[in-house]
Structure 1
């Protein structure tokens, strides 16, 4: 499952791109994030440190009668993080983005012809349905994933600003870094995110799991649980698109409304009354999957980043 540390890493990659520096490695971000959370949320007393006095006999217990709890483990030294080999993230942001574009055939930028709603976390993908794109997690630490950027207004309104992902299993270090930048700069529905917009952003990461086999039944999925990826033919052309698990629930759509919206997102522009006929005639297929979206706001990332810098953690400038 995605974590806020994954979101913090996406912010780190985007910020590093703007500042022309190397981002911290994912492992560093995860460890520092845990240490930061411990520093702002001290752990409550353990049960062994609390003595419940239930009767007079218990009240007369001496210190010798109470077993001392073992000392808690100290967090990893910051110096160890500073000396960690950062080869995994030493490449420039632009090169990792280019590698992503050439190496992942499952991502296709939306034509913008489908109806989009501001809060939707969506991305159009190729209609080709392959066993590779339907597979589950290939290796530990590898997932199909999506990275979403939203802007948040002063009134708290969330608007989609970019969302691109892949159904190919990715190593998290590479995949999060690549798609953090791709979704920020390459979603053709929007202008590339400028540095000035960074303070208004929130980031969301979804790791995809539990892919089903393709089904002809367009309603064989559960609202609020499954994301869906569809593929169908219309006028001798194949169409495809996906919605992440949270989209339909956020929009308050029924299954039928979700399917119509998704077909239009893919490029179909017919009447909503005809969607089932188009689905049948076009040999429609649906793959369902699961994934819990985790989010982080800029202010939360910035507070962590400020703490890390005070602890002496710095990034290297690009040559």
Structure 2
């Protein structure tokens, strides 16, 4: 499953790109995230300064695991990825488009909930230690999606970018790549700017348990995401919704299917959705984890206090 550290790594990748510096690598983000969350927030006696942190990172032989603080740096900004076939960028990024299609490279965007303001506002405190133990290794590969939401001062959320892939990705490279692709190349929106960073929330979904189903209603709201394809007017169409979309929208299964087909490009009567040719439905699972900017910023400030400051690009 996705972790808060995965979201922090996406923030790190996006921030580093916008600030023209090298990001920390995923393994370092995970290690430093765990260390940060292992320190009681209100226990001043247990706080460690950068010198003590350095000593604690020594192994039994006295050698620094991160010699000279040359931590693993994340990959540089990936080469531009083919833009999605979607409407022209909107000058008002707070309103998500209702339609996009999947590119030939299996990159795809997923609609965010227009009612996502139902979810909780930023939590500015540290995450509890139960999130420090990762169930996913940083060297594992998964299909994945990275979602950026803009969060207003009142806590209302609006989609700012969401792109992912159904091809398995090494998490270190895949999360960094799609953090930037969803921020800069979701053609429903203008690219995210540095000025917007403090208002963002990041969501990461790792996809698992893909199953082809013969009954298009054989899935559970809130548990399964859907990937569909079908023939219409001599063309093949396809689209996906992540597992949280139908639940956040308050849709029934049928409403979800009709909306998903509309997203793909189907323009038929809603009562005729079952009559399209060659409808194929794949259900999958994946729990989204989300992290707000301020939580990432508090962690990043702590990281810099330990001596891991930003490394500017030439």
Matched, 1:92 2:76: yes
- Structure 1: which 5+ residue stretches go unaligned? 44-73, 103-107, 130-136
Q: Give the SS at the match of 1:183.
A: helix
- What does residue 273 of structure 1 align with? 271
- What does residue 309 of structure 1 align with? 304
- Structure 2: which 5+ residue stretches go unaligned? 44-54, 89-93, 107-135
Instruction: Determine which structure has the larger strand proportion and give its number.
Output: 2
- What does residue 210 of structure 2 align with? 211
How much does 1:122 deviate?
A: 9.6
TM-score, scaled relative to structure 1: 0.75
Q: Give the SS at the match of 1:284.
A: strand
Could you say if the C-alpha distance between residues 21 and 128 of structure 1 is closer, same or farther in structure 2, counting changes exceeding 3 Å? closer
Pairwise mapping of residues 22-61 of structure 1 onto structure 2 (< 5 A)?
A: 22-41=22-41
> In the comparison of the two structures, how many residue pairs are matched?
264
Cα separation, 1, equivalents of 2:19 and 2:67: 20
How much does 1:273 deviate?
A: 1.5
Q: Give the SS at the match of 1:245.
A: coil
Q: Can you list the C-alpha shifts for 1:161-192, whole angstroms capped at 9, x where unaligned?
A: 00000011110000000000000000011111
Instruction: Determine which structure has the larger helix proportion and give its number.
Output: 1
Instruction: Return the index of the structure with the highest Cα Rg.
Output: 1
- What does residue 156 of structure 2 align with? 157
- What does residue 76 of structure 1 align with? 57
**Contact 1:248-1:258 within 8 A present in 2 as well:** yes
Cα separation, 1, equivalents of 2:56 and 2:215: 51
Cα separation, 1, equivalents of 2:231 and 2:306: 56
Could you say if the C-alpha distance between residues 273 and 88 of structure 1 is closer, same or farther in structure 2, counting changes exceeding 3 Å? same
**Contact 1:112-1:265 within 8 A present in 2 as well:** no
- What does residue 259 of structure 1 align with? 257
**Contact 1:119-1:159 within 8 A present in 2 as well:** yes
- What does residue 54 of structure 1 align with? none
**Contact 1:11-1:301 within 8 A present in 2 as well:** yes
Cα separation, 2, equivalents of 1:118 and 1:184: 15
Q: Give the SS at the match of 1:288.
A: strand
Cα separation, 2, equivalents of 1:38 and 1:291: 27
